[in-house]
Amino acid sequence: MSSVNEGRIVLDMQHISKQFPNVLANEDVSIHLREGEIISLLGENGAGKSTLMNVLYGLYRPTSGKILLNGKEVEISSPKDAIRNGLGMVHQHFMLIDTLTVTENIILGSEPGKSGVIDYKAARREVLELSKKYHLEVDPDALIENMAVGLQQRVEILKALYRKAKILILDEPTAVLTPHEVEQLFEVVEKLRESGVSMIIITHKLEEVKAISDRVYILRRGKCTGERVTKDITREGMANLMVGREVVLTVHKEKKEFSGDPIFELSDIVVKNEKGLNALDGLSLNVRPGEIVGIAGVDGNGQTELAEAIMGMCKLENGKILFKGERLEKYSTRQRRNKHISNVPADRQQFGLILPMDISENMVLGFHDEKPYAHGFNLALNNIHDYAERMVKDYDIRATGVDEPVENLSGGNQQKVILAREFSRNPEFLLVAQPTRGLDVGAIEYIHSQILKMRDNNVGILLISLELEEVFSLSDRILVLYEGKIVKEFIPDETTDKEVGFYMTGGKKSESGEKE
């Protein structure tokens, strides 16, 4: 598809630099985009892709550099300007309001109707027309909170198109999608291109770059390390430019035979969410010592509740939790942790760490009142300090000292603090959710290796991840979670991500399933 596009240049960003209080997020980056072209911005997390696009979208003001649209320089000081100039952006974390309907979300900010009163009829009509025009079917009256992620993304795209966007920015569009949804997205992208929309796709996935974009800009540490025509560059080539060294893109773990009874079992778990619906609906699984069981699934199919159920943070309607043959339901979170069940939570900042507290305090969070970290009521500050010192060394956490608040640490180091805390309690069962979300390749490698080390220590590990490759590369078994149930079990080497993805969407889109 990607023939070199010779259309006129619609967007030209020249020598953009963006200085934040403590980091230089972009340094003299120049990119341009031609009409009907699709380019991707490739780079790992923190390389400055999103910053650059936020500059373009008017969320940030560039420290220096200028932006030309259709040849003439423009001052984009707010998203309003960006929208007026025909720019549209689909953010990685969707900018949708759960409690409003699709229509309301799409029209928000440029509602039809005069004298300040919204004409909902007209709005609904326009939305329907739009979704027909671009073949993006959505129910205009549905509430966002009841919609699948893929559909929410459609709404986001419609939002941009509704504002007559000629240039569409997609920030990590596939991050939360199943392979099937990814395919559909790519189809949409193609359709949009045909209708004359130019697109910039922010991603850190090499496949995607290959799959859809004509040209690729590779960013590293805020600098542009290369501009290539996609068909002329290999994945390894891109990886090099992206990370600056040869990357091992696959973790190699030696095979194991798993004998003996499971160390951890869930049987027929039912959990209700706040809306009173069954978030977990008769879920059963088991984990054997030294085994990594990966939970594949689209976000919102019960991952959160599963983690909470295991850690005893939500009420069980029904079901058994067995750990070494012992029933756990009655135990509190604390008691479960004391039984050497450790947990690396999905949202490290909200559920894993107390950002304003310092490293040493976070290191003992959850067992701060046990010897040797406390004598009776008193904290043994010295012991805590020494322990933290040791951990910081062992897990090489980059910090000025153990009394530095964790909010000052990079994402990778924050995650390392959690790993240090959880792994150092020599767990027998380990729940790991989204361990590498938003981390750069270096950190990802390190964390994967740590998880595998746990595996070698014969710890039973349950890995919940939205990143399908991660599940594939780490797991010994893959369980597909769909609408609160385990719908299928796979052995990684004996399946394909397509097949897994097919079940992740409930196996409904059967025809597209057969395509594989």
Partner 1 sequence: MEITKLKPVFYTLAAISGVVGMAMYFSSIFSGIFLIIAAIVIYYIYRGLLTSYKTAKAEVYSVLKSMLIPLVGIIAAILIGAIIMVLTGYNPVRAYKALFYGGFVKNWSISVLNATPLLFTGLSVAFAFKAGLFNIGAEGQYYVGAMVATFLGITFNLPPVVSIILIFIIGGLLAAAYNFIPALLKVKTGAHEVITTMMFAHIAKYLSSIFIRGMGGDSAGSHPYVTDPIRDSNFLMKFKTIFPSANYRVHIGILIGIGMALLVSYILYRTTFGYEIRAIGQNKDAARGQGINVGKNIFIALLFAGFLSGFAGVTQVIGLDHKMFENLNAGYGWNGVSVALLAANNPIGVIFTALLWGALDAGGQYMSRTTQTPNSIVEIIKGIILFLLVAKYIWAWLGHRLKRWLGKRLQKNGGVQ
Partner 2 sequence: MEGILAILNTDLLVATIRLSTPITLAAVGATICERSGIVNIAMEGMMIMGAFFAVVVAYFTGNPWLGLLAGVVAGGIFSLVHAVATVTFHLDHVVSGAVLNILSFGIVRYLMVLFFGHPGTTEPIPHGLNEYQFAIPGLSKIPVLGSMFFNQTPIVYMSFLLIIAALFFLKRTKVGLHLRAAGEHPMALETIGVSVYKMRYLGVLISGLFSGLAGAYLSIENAVSFTEGMSNGRGFIALAAMISGGWTAIGSFLAALFFGFADAFQIRMQIFKVLPIPAEIFIIFPYVATVIAVAGLVRKSRSPKADGIDFIIEREDG
Coil, helix or strand for 495? coil
Size of the site for partner 2 (CB under 8 A): 37
Question: Least separation, in Å, of the C-beta of 387 and partner 1?
Answer: 15
Considering only 250, 259, 378, 400, the residue that binds partner 1 (CB under 8 A) is 378
Cis peptide before 372 (omega within 30 of 0): yes
Specify the residue, 18 or 337, whose C-beta has the smaller distance to partner 2: 18
Are 502 and 180 contacting, i.e. CB atoms less than 8 angstroms apart? yes
* 381 binds partner 1, rule: CB under 8 A: yes
* Residues in Cβ contact with 431 at an 8 Å cutoff, skipping those fewer than 6 apart: 307, 310, 311, 341, 342, 343, 344, 461, 462, 464
Q: Is the dihedral of CA 445, 446, 450, 456 positive or negative?
A: positive
Specify the residue, 74 or 379, whose C-beta has the smaller distance to partner 1: 379
Are 29 and 221 contacting, i.e. CB atoms less than 8 angstroms apart? no
* Residues in Cβ contact with 208 at an 8 Å cutoff, skipping those fewer than 6 apart: 40, 174, 182, 201
Contacts of partner 1 in 315-344 (CB under 8 A): 332-337, 343
Are 125 and 132 contacting, i.e. CB atoms less than 8 angstroms apart? no
* Residues in Cβ contact with 24 at an 8 Å cutoff, skipping those fewer than 6 apart: 17, 18, 222
* 97 binds partner 2, rule: CB under 8 A: yes
Q: Helix crossing, 441-456 with 411-423: angle to 10°?
A: 10
Question: Least separation, in Å, of the C-beta of 62 and partner 2?
Answer: 8
Query: In whole angstroms, what is the distance from residue 421 CA to residue 416 CA?
Result: 8
Nearest partner of 268 among 303, 326, 316, 331, judged by Cα: 316
* 109 binds partner 2, rule: CB under 8 A: yes
Instruction: Kindly indicate which of the ranges 19-27, 244-252, 320-328, 389-397 contains the residues binding partner 2, using the contact rule CB under 8 A.
Output: 19-27
* 411 binds partner 1, rule: CB under 8 A: no
* 116 binds partner 2, rule: CB under 8 A: yes
Read off the tokens for 428: 């027998």
Question: Least separation, in Å, of the C-beta of 355 and partner 2?
Answer: 15
Read off the tokens for 6: 């010779």
Question: Least separation, in Å, of the C-beta of 18 and partner 1?
Answer: 17
* 80 binds partner 2, rule: CB under 8 A: yes
- Dihedrals phi, psi of 157, to nearest 5 degrees: -65, -45
Query: In whole angstroms, what is the distance from residue 330 CA to residue 309 CA?
Result: 12
Considering only 94, 365, 390, 487, the residue that binds partner 1 (CB under 8 A) is 365
Considering only 4, 15, 23, 78, the residue that binds partner 2 (CB under 8 A) is 78
Burial of 322 (0-12, 13-18, 19+ CB in 10 A): middle
Q: Which amino acid is located at 317 in the chain?
A: E
Specify the residue, 20 or 258, whose C-beta has the smaller distance to partner 2: 20
Specify the residue, 405 or 506, whose C-beta has the smaller distance to partner 1: 405
Question: Facing residues of 11 across strands?
Answer: 33, 69
Read off the tokens for 200: 């910039």
Question: Least separation, in Å, of the C-beta of 348 and partner 1?
Answer: 9
Contacts of partner 2 in 52-71 (CB under 8 A): 57, 59-61, 63
Are 229 and 215 contacting, i.e. CB atoms less than 8 angstroms apart? yes
* 356 binds partner 1, rule: CB under 8 A: yes
Considering only 79, 237, 405, 411, the residue that binds partner 2 (CB under 8 A) is 79
Specify the residue, 24 or 487, whose C-beta has the smaller distance to partner 2: 24
Cβ neighbour number for residue 456 with a 10 Å cutoff: 11
Considering only 379, 385, 425, 483, the residue that binds partner 1 (CB under 8 A) is 379
HEC per residue, 455-470: HHCCCEEEEECCCHHH
Q: Helix crossing, 235-243 with 441-456: angle to 10°?
A: 100
Contacts of partner 2 in 341-380 (CB under 8 A): none
Question: Facing residues of 222 across strands?
Answer: none
Contacts of partner 1 in 414-453 (CB under 8 A): none
Burial of 73 (0-12, 13-18, 19+ CB in 10 A): exposed
If contact means CB under 5 to 8 A according to the sort of partner, which of partner 2, partner 1, none does residue 95 touch? partner 2
* 111 binds partner 2, rule: CB under 8 A: yes
Specify the residue, 97 or 381, whose C-beta has the smaller distance to partner 2: 97
* 20 binds partner 2, rule: CB under 8 A: yes
If contact means CB under 5 to 8 A according to the sort of partner, which of partner 1, partner 2, none does residue 366 touch? partner 1
Read off the tokens for 504: 């992740």
* 141 binds partner 2, rule: CB under 8 A: no
Instruction: Kindly indicate which of the ranges 93-101, 208-216, 392-400, 443-451 contains the residues binding partner 2, using the contact rule CB under 8 A.
Output: 93-101
Q: How far is CA 35 from CA 32, 55, 168, 192, 464, in A?
A: 10, 20, 11, 12, 41
Contacts of partner 2 in 163-222 (CB under 8 A): 163
Instruction: Kindly indicate which of the ranges 26-34, 112-120, 204-212, 464-472 contains the residues binding partner 2, using the contact rule CB under 8 A.
Output: 112-120
* 442 binds partner 2, rule: CB under 8 A: no
Specify the residue, 79 or 507, whose C-beta has the smaller distance to partner 2: 79
Question: Least separation, in Å, of the C-beta of 355 and partner 1?
Answer: 7
Provide the binding-site residues for partner 1, judged by CB under 8 A: 311, 313, 332-337, 343, 345, 350-357, 361, 365-366, 368-369, 374, 377-379, 381
Provide the binding-site residues for partner 2, judged by CB under 8 A: 18-21, 57, 59-61, 63, 77-84, 89, 91, 95-100, 104-105, 108-111, 113, 116-118, 159, 163
